[in-house]
Structure 1
Amino acid sequence: MSNKFGSLVADVSKAFRVEIVDPVTEEVIRDKAGNPMFIAIWAADSARARDFGKAKRKELALRVKQSRNGKVEPDDALEANIAFCAALTDGWYLVDRVTGEPIDVPCTPENAADLYSSLGAGWIFIQPWTEANSAANFLPKPSKPSVDTPKPSSEAEGA
C-alpha cells in the first residue's frame, strides 16, 4: 500500500494472525501436529473497523430518534468492545488447550462474539483485541542498516 505519507501509515489492507498463548504455560497453544491456534484480526482502524463504526453510529442515531425523550442508555463498554473485536475477526484455527484437538466451529462474527463473551474466555478475547489495536502489527518493518566494518585503531593507522 503506497501513499504520500510513506511508512508512517500502517498497512491495514489485510488481517494480522495472532497466535494464542496459553496463560498457564505461556506458550502458543498447538494441536497434536504442532500447528498453532490463531485468530486472524483486522486492524482497529481498517476499512472493516470504520464500516462497523459507521453502522453503530447509524444504529445509535436511530435509537435516539425512536426514544421518547431523545436519550438512550449507553452500551456496556465491554460488550461494545467484544462486538467490535468479533466484527474484526477474519478467521481462526481453534484448538483445545488440554487435548490438542482442533475445535471445529466456523468463524463468524456471531461465533466470535460468543467465544469472546463466554465467561472464563477473557484471556482469549484480550489477545486479538490487543493486537488489533497495536499499530506495530500493521506498520512496515524498517530495513536494517548495513553493519559498518570496524575502523582500524589509531595505532594501526600510524604503523
Structure 2
Amino acid sequence: MFNLPDFDTVSASDAGATLTLVREDNGAIARDKDGNPITLTVLGSDSAQYRKAQQKNLNRRLAKRTVKVTAEELEAEALDILASATVAWSGFFDGIGDPIPCTPGNALDLYKSYPSIREQADRFVSDRANFLGSRLAA
C-alpha cells in the first residue's frame, strides 16, 4: 500500500541521523580512546538547514552576477554546507584528551583536515535511506 508519509524525507532529515565512522584501512568501526564508536550526527540533504546553506551560497553567486565559479569556491561551499549539517558528534578528542566540542567551525576544520571523514559524512547526508530508516522496507 502506498503511504505518502513514508516518503517524508524533510521531517526525517530535519531530525538527523547518526553515522558511525569506519576506518579506511580495514573497514572496522572507528573507536575512541575508551573503545566507543566514533559518531557524527548529521542532518539530511532535505533538511531545512541544509537547504538554507545551499541557498545562501547560490544567493551569493547570484549577487556577484557572474557564472564563473572556481573549483576552490565550490569545495569551500560544499564544506560549509556539510559543516552546517553536522549537529553533534562523539569520540573526538584534542591532543591532551579533552573532548572537542561540535561547532560549525570545528566541523569545518574536521572535514578540511580529514577527507576520509568528509567523504563518509557527505555520502551519508546525501543518502535519503539513512533518514528514513526501515519505513520503506515493508
TM-score tier (shorter):
0.7 to 0.9
Give me the CA root mean square deviation.
2.6
- For structure 1, the residue ranges without an aligned partner over 5 or more in a row are 65-70, 146-159
Deviation per CA, 1:113-145: give whole Å up to 9, x if none.
Answer: 111112xx1111011110000011111414877
Q: Is the 8 A contact 1:40 1:91 kept in 2?
A: yes
- Superposed, which structure 2 residues align to 1:59-74 within 5 Å? 59-64=60-65, 71=66, 73-74=68-69
Report the Cα distance in structure 1 between the residues aligned to 2:105 and 2:48, rounded to whole angstroms: 20
Larger radius of gyration: 1
Name the amino acid aligned to 1:89: T
- Alignment partner of 1:138: what SS? helix
Deviation per CA, 1:75-113: give whole Å up to 9, x if none.
Answer: 4333222121111111111347xxxx9562221111111
- Alignment partner of 2:18: what SS? strand
Query: Match for residue 124 of structure 2?
Result: 131
- Alignment partner of 2:6: what SS? helix
Query: Match for residue 155 of structure 1?
Result: none
- Larger proportion of helix: 2
- For structure 2, the residue ranges without an aligned partner over 5 or more in a row are none
- Superposed, which structure 2 residues align to 1:8-157 within 5 Å? 8-10=7-9, 11-64=12-65, 71=66, 73-76=68-71, 77-95=74-92, 104-118=99-113, 121-142=114-135
Name the amino acid aligned to 1:134: D
Report the Cα distance in structure 1 between the residues aligned to 2:38 and 2:51, rounded to whole angstroms: 27
Identity %: 24
Q: Provide TM-score, normalisation by structure 1.
A: 0.70
Q: Any runs of at least 4 consecutive aligned residues in structure 1 with deviations exceeding 6 A, and if so which?
A: none
Query: Match for residue 6 of structure 2?
Result: 7
Q: Provide TM-score, normalisation by structure 2.
A: 0.79
Q: Is the 8 A contact 1:49 1:87 kept in 2?
A: yes
